[in-house]
Structure 1
Amino acid sequence: MIPRPFEYRFTVQLHDTDAAGRLFFAHLFRHAHDAYEALMREIGQPLPPMIAAQTLLLPLTHAEADYLQPMQHGERICVEVEVLELRQRAFSLGYRFLDAAGRLAARARTVHVQIALEPGSARSLAPELRAALEPHLAAAPTE
């Protein structure tokens, strides 16, 4: 069975937009991060307790986005989130921003590395985190 992407929905608010009434480019990453937090909560790995206890530290080491069509004030957007890659110390997430008609408006990718608090170097992904992310691993793309 092919895993379904995790879905996170939001409405483009006035404070999200630029002077033209379109989603300001940097706010795409805020919504991607909100979707990431919702995914982590859904898979039983909520970020607030991790951060408070400093048990798992997962800083971003890379972020990129492609903007394919404008997202307007008041528009409902569905963000599909998939795990693109699980590595020994890192994982990458892919985000697809779809408008109400299902058209791809933007896509983004983030890379997260697990680090140790002391001395702050990368370490292997915690087994419980890996196990929670694996069911959301995207199928390999076909050409």
Structure 2
Amino acid sequence: MFVHRLTIQLADTDAYSILFFPNQLRFCQVVFQAWLASVGLPLPIDRARAEFLCVVVRAEADYEAPINVGDELTCAYSAARVGATSFTNAIRFTNQRGEPVGQARVVYVVIDPRTSAKMTIPPRLRSGLEAIAG
């Protein structure tokens, strides 16, 4: 499991001062990018420099309790499934009191950046995913 922490900012909330619902999925991408960097696979500056791309083909989120400005979220990130060309990540969100506030699952397909065709998950990415499988 990979753990990332973030603080909820005013811009993350809606008119009711709770997390604006699409931001939970945005946080999934923030955590994914942090994880990629942690395993030595930071996002390239541009597509032409990428050896592979991970594109979202499905995303789902559950909201279990209000998330407010100033809340400190712990994002527990794991690989729920690793296939030949795709993988599913699971993210659990807890607040500063350790209470579950949400969860999400995101399915990525790995593609060749030049052709946009599906490709086999590269060994370095697969190794990183298998290390956080659970």
Pick aligned residue for 2:76 from 53, 56, 80: 80
- Corresponding residue number in structure 1 for 2:115: 119
Q: Does 1:97 align with 2:93?
A: yes
1:49-103, CA deviations, whole angstroms, 9 ceiling, x for partnerless residues? 5745121111111100000101011111111000111000011110001011111
Cα distance in 1 for partners of 2:14, 2:55 equals 28
Q: Which has the higher strand share?
A: 2
Question: Does the 8 Å contact 2:48/2:113 carry over to 1?
Answer: no
Matches within 5 A, 1:50-69: 51-69=47-65
Q: Please give the TM-score of this superposition, normalised by the length of structure 1.
A: 0.88
Pick aligned residue for 2:30 from 34, 48, 65: 34
- Corresponding residue number in structure 2 for 1:6: 2
The alpha-carbon deviation at position 10 of structure 1 amounts to: 0.8
Q: Please give the TM-score of this superposition, normalised by the length of structure 2.
A: 0.94
Aligned residues: 134
- Corresponding residue number in structure 2 for 1:16: 12
* Moved segments of 4+, more than 6 Å: none
Kindly report the root-mean-square deviation, in angstroms, between the aligned alpha carbons of the 2 structures. 1.4
The percentage of counterpart residues that share the same residue type is 31
Cα distance in 2 for partners of 1:118, 1:16 equals 34
